[in-house]
């Protein structure tokens, strides 16, 4: 079953709002981190926009 079909089933079966289900799912090996070990959200966002072509 494709991701789109699974997403649609979640909407109907569990009555989850459409905005709570992600449009994209990307698996990564590691996150870009700062020196203190926090995730660099801006850099992560930029990488995903580039990878997904958004």
CA distances from 52 to 8, 24, 25, 46 (A): 22, 9, 10, 10
Q: Are 7 and 16 in contact (CB under 8 A)?
A: no
The pLDDT assigned to 21 comes to: 72
The pLDDT assigned to 29 comes to: 92
Nearest to 31 by CA among 17, 21, 46, 41: 41
The pLDDT assigned to 12 comes to: 67
The pLDDT assigned to 11 comes to: 67
The pLDDT assigned to 27 comes to: 86
User: How do the pLDDT tens digits run along the chain, 54 residues long?
Assistant: 566 677 667 666 677 777 877 777 788 899 999 999 999 999 999 998 998 888
Q: Which domain holds residue 38?
A: 3-52
């Amino acid at each position: 079953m494709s991701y789109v079909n699974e997403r649609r089933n979640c909407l109907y079966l569990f009555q989850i709002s459409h905005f709570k289900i992600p449009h994209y799912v990307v698996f990564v090996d590691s996150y870009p981190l700062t020196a203190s070990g926090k995730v660099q959200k801006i850099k992560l966002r930029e990488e995903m926009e580039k990878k997904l072509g958004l």
